[in-house]
Structure 1
């Protein structure tokens, strides 16, 4: 077993087998045909419960067992804060349940020995998860066996106080990330409500939401709308609507951004990581219409279906699965962008396509999709209100991304011994410097 000194000369990290830090436990499933085995009080963790989690803690599971189901299966009850790891489809999702639990065969768990800090090992194994992947075997899908998991080695400081200190520093960042995610979720709920109100009631001459009790509304194919508005087709608000070239471009390291659906979120193009094309390829892909500031790119195919993003100052061209709309001079581009990003538009135009084998929307369907048309001045006011709200969301998203990068950097520095831990032992919340 290898030993190494970290930046703290008095702290020794050892490559330690997982079997040395805890008991590795496999899972099981009782008979699914016997209803007496199910819907009890015993949490039963499967890989689905671990997928897409941002919090390290788990308190509930999608399915539960009865005491009979636990007794008649190979599953074993584990104490809270044992570490559960998905061992297939895929390998390496993990959590620390805060309740007693058992698992199915798609998970393995570590019931820690005394002297080990569960939170540290959660972060440590998240960082060294590639070592779990490397032990996976299988043709249809990769799976790590109990024996292979026991043999995985990761660097571990033998001093529990050091483990706890590293975990507490990373937990501080986790709490900040979770709080920011909660703020983003709250802001999105507010945004959805604001979008609904602005796109169904609009703003009166004083810039206030119209009140149905004091303003006149009329019936329309989209429901009641202010009498000043009309319901029109998207094409009525545009000078031009064109599809993307039906070919895969040759990408290069430099050049012009070639927009794919992966480069789009509602209301914004993500140009930083966009694939790029040469000048000649760019010219080929703008032959139908040259994208310019104020145009709207709309994703019309694939998993990221139904997203409208405005073109900014940088020259771009269309990749695959997208289309380009050029609003009329009297159409506010920001207004139309958010009208096409609204839940109402999505539900009417996009939702029916999601369940198909190859989800897509035809260009003609977008042209003939209904939207509301306020007067140009009101469109601008609505667009400005939604854009201002979106800028707050962008600030939160930037903060969240910064926190995630900071956490990733700290995990690397703390869990490889590059940053001395000794100064943190006295104050885990102290600033960290390499």
Structure 2
């Protein structure tokens, strides 16, 4: 950390309250059992209530009786106390116990620090803990050969540089405003994804009429089909009938001439986005010819083999020519179906398709291709497909814009934490100019 002459170096014990139990961990496992949890009472703070962003998550709180809480008073937390995960892979997660509760008890997997509010701002201390430096210091102070754990004494010995109380509060206000913007943006993205899910379900089963409204059996004619009731003008075909299916491959890794070329090579690890513009690995013309398969732009890719199929069904729409490996299938739709409509159909039906995933003798997950190709798909005329695609693309575009804004806010927070918590940039300089999270 950069030493600023206006900062004072202190350990966490120095800024803790003078209470006997200002830095404590939770009770031994034998003192508090999951069987004692109940739906109301005194909250028990566990690791799941802390986050890597330092945000307290109340959604998964459990509770114990007042009598039980009183017997564990040593591990009590009050509003403004900072709770930190002390063990294992989650070590360093934190959160400030909120004022929505008068008191709580921390679980055995946590440490808490009660801050002396006359010399330190709990929000500022929480940001120090969540900083890159803070996380490294917690890890360095932890011990244990099999499971990393930080105990109360080494935790209290961790040292940071502290500015005046006033400046701590000013820094906390600035960083909290960014956190609030991050949380709001995350909420917008969650809401937009819910809208997208609802639209996918309605648009790909009911479609839209000439007025741009989702059809209803009250106002439009529907018919029976293998998929249930669908608009009378829609058709039903199997996935086998809707286009051509292609298998990919992996060029020999021992032949350097096959690799580091200009042709994107799609693997499941690339398929974390719907619109695919590029890949991690590239192959050469020879690699595509002798070890893989090249597909044109506007192809649909789906994962058919891999452990990711245990919980997810990756689908991508390509925006350029690409080759792909043997864990992926590519589809070029026929003239009746827009390829992007097909891609959205796979997304909308991912849960249904995961039900036909099987497990090989080696434990690998794979789609039963015979069963997959017999799955029915319903679709309207191409004009309506294009309208449906446009509506879904608008939602997808808004999600992407907000995701970019979220990344920008997170980067801004990281930069400000580095500058303000080290004294590299003094908060007084920032206060002389208007500050708004970008």
Structure 2 counterpart of 1:13: 7
CA distance in 2 between counterparts of 1:354 and 1:123 reads 46
Matches within 5 A, 1:73-112: 73=72, 76-89=75-88, 90-98=90-98, 99=101, 100-112=103-115
Displacement of 1:91 after TM fit? 0.6
TM-score under structure 1 length normalisation:
0.85
Distance (Å, rounded) in 2 between the aligned partners of 1:246 and 1:282:
5
Q: What secondary structure does 1:112 align onto?
A: coil
What residue is the counterpart of 2:317 in the other structure?
310
3-state SS of 2:3 partner? strand
Contact 1:241/1:367 (8 A) holds in 2: no
Change (3 A) 1:206 1:269: same
Instruction: Name the counterpart of 1:8.
Output: none
1:368 match: 374
Partner of 2:274: 267
CA change 1:106–1:255 in 2 (3 A) is farther
Q: Give distance in 1, aligned partners of 2:67 and 2:259.
A: 60
Quick one: distance in 2 between partners of 1:138 and 1:84? 21
**Native 8 Å contact 2:248 2:323 kept in 1:** no
1:34–1:362 distance in 2 versus 1, CA, 3 Å: closer
The answer on 1:337 being equivalent to 2:343 is yes
Q: CA deviation at 1:316?
A: 3.5
The separation in 1 between residues aligned to 2:288 and 2:227, in whole angstroms, is 40
Match of 2:19 in 1: none
Distance in 2 between residues matched to 1:285 and 1:418, nearest whole Å: 56
Q: Supply the distance in 2 between the matched residues of 1:285 and 1:129 (Cα, whole angstroms).
A: 48
How far residue 425 of structure 1 moved from its aligned partner, in angstroms, is: 4.8
**Equivalents in 2 of 1:396, 1:33: separation in Å?**
39
The 3-state SS of whatever aligns with 2:241 is helix
Which residue of the partner structure matches residue 381 of structure 1? 387
Give TM-score scaled by structure 2 length.
Answer: 0.84
CA contact (8 A) 1:241 1:323 kept: yes
Say whether 1:162 aligns with 2:190: no
Cα separation, 2, equivalents of 1:70 and 1:246: 62
Distance across 1 between alignment mates of 2:286 and 2:140:
40
CA displacement 1:53-80 (0-9 Å, x = unmatched): 6672344543112122223447521211
In the alignment, what sits opposite 1:64? 63
Structure-2 residue corresponding to 1:420: 426
Residue 216 of structure 2 is aligned to residue 222 of structure 1: no
Q: Deviation per CA, 1:364-399: give whole Å up to 9, x if none.
A: 443233221222222222222211221121111111
Provide the C-alpha distance between the structure 2 equivalents of 1:162 and 1:125, rounded to a whole number of angstroms: 17
Deviation of 1:88 (Å): 1.2
Bigger Cα displacement from structure 2, 140-149 vs 125-134: 140-149
**Is residue 2:121 matched to residue 1:122?**
no
Q: CA deviation at 1:108?
A: 0.7
1:177–1:404 contact (8 Å) kept in structure 2: yes
Distance 2:252 2:50 in 1: 38
**Unaligned segments of structure 2, at least 5 residues:** 17-21
Give the match for residue 46 of structure 1. 46
Separation in 2 of the partners of 1:246 and 1:69? 63
Shift of 1:352: 6.4
Q: Distance in 1 between matches of 2:182 and 2:355?
A: 31
3-state DSSP class of the match of 1:235?
coil
Measured in 2, the distance between the counterparts of 1:133 and 1:280 equals: 47
Counterpart of 2:403 in structure 1 is 397
Task: State the shift of 1:339 in Å.
Answer: 0.7
Change (3 A) 1:72 1:261: farther
The 1:77–1:355 alpha-carbon spacing in structure 2 relative to 1, beyond 3 Å, is farther
CA distance in 2, matches of 1:221, 1:316: 35
Point out the more displaced range, 207-216 or 25-34: 25-34
Seen in structure 2, the aligned counterparts of structure 1 residues 43 and 359 have a Cα distance that, compared at 3 Å, is: farther
| Mapped partners of 1:149, 1:188: distance in 2 | 40
Farther-moved stretch of structure 1 (205-214 vs 188-197): 205-214
Change (3 A) 1:117 1:348: same
How far is 1:170 from its partner?
1.0
Q: Deviations over 1:387-412 (max 9, x none)?
A: 12211211111111111111111111
Is 2:37 aligned against 1:32?
no
Contact map agreement 2:72 2:105 (CA 8 A) in 1: no
Q: 2:242, 2:253 → 1: CA distance?
A: 30
Mapped pair 1:328 → 2:334 = yes
Q: Please, which of 193, 201, 204 is the counterpart of residue 198 of structure 2? A: 193
Distance 2:221 2:263 in 1: 49
Following superposition, the deviation at residue 45 of structure 1 comes to 1.1
Two-structure CA RMSD over aligned residues (Å): 3.2
- List gaps (5 residues or longer) in structure 1: 6-10
